[in-house]
Amino acid sequence: MNSPYEYFYKAPKVAGENLPAIFLFHGLGSNEQDLLQLVEPFENCHIFSLQGPIQHKPGYAFYTFPEEEGKPERAVFDKVIQFTQAFIFEAIQEFNLDMEKIYVVGFNQGAVVAQTLALVMGSAIRGTVALSGYIPEFVAVEYNKLPMDKSKIFISHGEYDYVYPFVWGEKSATFFKDYGADVTFKTYPDGHGVTPENLQDLVAFIASDLVTTIN
């Protein structure tokens, strides 16, 4: 892969071409190992877990935020989205992935990246899972967006999330519904995290397409 990203790759247990792929994007201060447990059931998928390119102790970040946490610095974020799209398209070619079964999963900053990719890549992404994130206003208003008629999005948020306020998740769900996307919006009596019920729901969301690739 000709990419500036460091990443962890897990090959599917079955051999073959045109298999599905899941791309993971961690949260602020974490790394490429963080979200792997969320997709353990999908043993017959290619798994790519990207590590944020910016050091943010104790781990990494996908973008900087000059003021409020979670709200990206535009110049940095633009480049990250550009490089991330290029990574996904290169992976599709190099690993001969199923172009109709591409999924992105993100938490915190990673969910912001995932929701943005859902918009700018449109139906090139079959399914998006956004855990405790949101869609930045400049993305919703100014980015070039593609139709999502062949894709779907799962947005979840903790009702007591004070890191990325709950209202951010609500607004994102409303935005994607108004945009015409197939939206599943789930809320949980939790803060900024992923509950067992949340995990069960996100696995079911992806597995509804991939019944033959789950263990």
Task: Tell me which residue has tokens 């790394």.
Answer: 31
What is this structure's pTM? 0.96
Cα–Cα distance measured from residue 29 to residue 41, given in angstroms and rounded to the nearest whole number:
25
Cα–Cα distance measured from residue 210 to residue 42, given in angstroms and rounded to the nearest whole number:
8
DSSP letters for 54-84: EEETTEEESS--SSSTT---HHHHHHHHHHH
Cα–Cα distance measured from residue 99 to residue 111, given in angstroms and rounded to the nearest whole number:
21
User: From first to last of its 215 residues, what are the pLDDT tens digits of the chain?
Assistant: 778 899 999 999 998 889 999 999 999 999 999 999 999 999 999 999 999 999 999 999 999 998 777 789 999 999 999 999 999 999 999 999 999 999 999 999 999 999 999 999 999 999 999 999 999 999 999 999 999 999 999 999 999 999 999 999 999 999 999 999 999 999 999 999 999 999 999 999 999 988 655 55
Which of 148, 104, 153, 87 has its CA nearest to residue 122?
148
Cα–Cα distance measured from residue 127 to residue 11, given in angstroms and rounded to the nearest whole number:
20
Q: CB count, 10 Å around CB of 87?
A: 19
Cα–Cα distance measured from residue 215 to residue 210, given in angstroms and rounded to the nearest whole number:
10
